[in-house]
Amino acid sequence: MMTIRIETYSMTGASRGKPDLEMKTAEGTTLKGLLVQLAGAHGPDPGEALIDRTTGKIKPHYLVLINGRRISQSENADKLLADGDVISIIRPFSGG
């Protein structure tokens, strides 16, 4: 079993009053698998909001980092996670 910390910024978590959380997940879990698990445990947002149902990839307007390293479109949601990883989910701000 692995422990993964999730940091959320903007509407993905702060609006629900839960900006950070830790989740237990099985060895060999991918980023997509963790987001699906997150959606199941905490409601559809952010898991549903982050994954494009058609492509199965993280929506391009989200910035996702693992241990401070941006996940590229080629790696995307299929990236394998490791115990102690920190996932940061950032939705760009807009407006004026």
pLDDT (tens digit, 9 = 90+) per residue, 58-71?
A: 777 788 899 999 88
Pick the CATH number of 2-90 from 3.10.20.30, 3.20.20.70, 3.40.1350.10, 3.90.550.10: 3.10.20.30
**Which residue, chain included where needed, has tokens 């994954």?**
51
This prediction has a pTM of: 0.75
- For the chain, domain boundaries: 2-90
Residue range 67-80: average pLDDT?
A: 81
Alpha-carbon distances, residue 95 vs 11, 56, 58, 82, 86 (angstroms): 14, 28, 23, 36, 29
